[in-house]
Amino acid sequence: MKLSLDALLMLDAIDTAGSFAAAARQLHRVPSALTHAVRRLEDDLGYAIFERVGRRARLTPAGQTLLTDGRQLLAAADALECRAQRVATGWEVELRIAVNALVPFGLMLPLIREFEAAQHGTRLRFSGEVLAGSWDALSTGRADLVVGASGEAPRDARFQTRVLGDAELIFCMAPDHPLASVPEPLPAHALSQHRAVVLADTTRAMQARSAGLVIGQDALVVPDFHAKLAAQIAGLGVGHLPHFLAADALADGTLVSRQTELGPPREPLRLAWRRDHDGRALQWFIEHLSAAPWRAQLAQAVRSP
């Protein structure tokens, strides 16, 4: 074959890095060797893969087609390697863990340290998900395990779940926001007159969810909880925040909390994974995340005092 996986990796690095020089540093090769390898591949294939625009390397239309489909081959080869290693040793090459935004990532650090100390050889890859994005990550294969999947679990026989607890959210706003002076509990019609700050759902294939909105309420959509916290402190809107994130701002007075007629919402948090994944690294994390001490730490972080 004229094309190899190594060649595809080289093309992917050049396209991602944007230049031959940057890709050479990433691949620990000299630029001239990379340039020679690409020219030889172009001669073998009979068409140009890259065109030079100043110092940057840009894919030709043919090169773009080659690499787009080639990346699917690279992903399939990586998945094959992972499956083969799991069969041979029981330990995955890589374990992809999605952490819901309602779970503070700091709670994962002691487990990561303990897992790494055992030197099982499995590479850990973490991602963050919001709302339906957690279930979507599991469904599409972006994640092997989801920590804190929230909302209603989809009816999917491929999924296995375990309850971790629930998160109680606090309704917050800047102290000079108009709603801060409205008598409690705040009625829904009063909330609808003021903008809410909400998180963007990270789902790619499932129907996106929204949370914390009342009918007719305007929304400012932000990418993560830290942006949501900053926007609410700045008085750009109101909304619900988890205890671990809102505590400091409530303590120093940059945010105030108020009760609403609807009461504090609770989001169930679940551990979720696919039934067809039986690797030992996955089982290690399921066991440790299900243990009472870790669940107690989670409850302390996500529930109001």
Span 52-78, pLDDT tens digits: 877 788 889 998 999 898 888 888 888
CA–CA distance, 269 with 267 (Å, rounded to integer): 6
pLDDT greater at residue 247 or residue 151: 247
- Average pLDDT of the segment spanning 77-98: 79
Nearest to 227 by CA among 199, 265, 249, 201: 199
Which residues are bridge partners to 257 per DSSP?
A: 172
Q: Rg of the chain's alpha carbons, rounded to an integer?
A: 24
Q: DSSP strand E in the chain: where?
A: 50-53, 56-59, 94-100, 123-129, 145-149, 159-173, 196-199, 219-222, 239-242, 256-257, 266-274
Pairing of strands 219-222, 196-199: parallel
pTM across the whole model:
0.70
Q: Which residue has the higher pLDDT, 210 or 296?
A: 296
* The token pair that represents 255 in the structure block: 């945010």
